[in-house]
Amino acid sequence: MAETDTEDAILAAHFAAARRMVGAMPAELEARILADAAQVQAGRTAPGPARSAGAGLMQQFLRVLGGWPAMGGLAAACAAGVWIGVAPPDFLPDPVGLMVQGDTDVNLLDSYALSSVLPEEG
């Protein structure tokens, strides 16, 4: 504890001495700093107008397809395709029905013995 008190006293003395110092910057140093700042500011140019980032990916995609009217047509065609897939006309196979219906197993060799089907060598 005694060392801490001594160190605190030394620090307090140094801080008190620093507070008593009224240090003004030398005039030559201040003039050099201001001259350097003026030179740096003169070398900089004013920023130009902000440029746009350009067209995004979605805007480019829309432009290639023909804009929003074309996207409306694509959405309608997509909806029609989904509707035809879910409820197809009579002349098209029903994919939902094919997935839902069970498979039927047919055994063609049910009534025959395998030995009667295969020819004998002889």
Can you tell me the distance from the alpha carbon of 120 to that of 122, in angstroms, rounded to the nearest whole number?
Answer: 6
Name the DSSP class of 25: P
The per-residue pLDDT for 122 is 55
Q: So where are the chain's domains?
A: 68-100
Query: Can you tell me which residue has the tokens 């029609």?
Result: 80
Summarised one tens digit per residue, pLDDT across range 14-59 is 999 888 887 778 889 999 999 999 999 888 877 777 777 777 888 8
- Global pTM reads 0.35
Q: How many CB atoms lie under 10 A from the CB of residue 104?
A: 5
Token pair in block for residue 38: 């003026």
Burial of 24 (0-12, 13-18, 19+ CB in 10 A): exposed
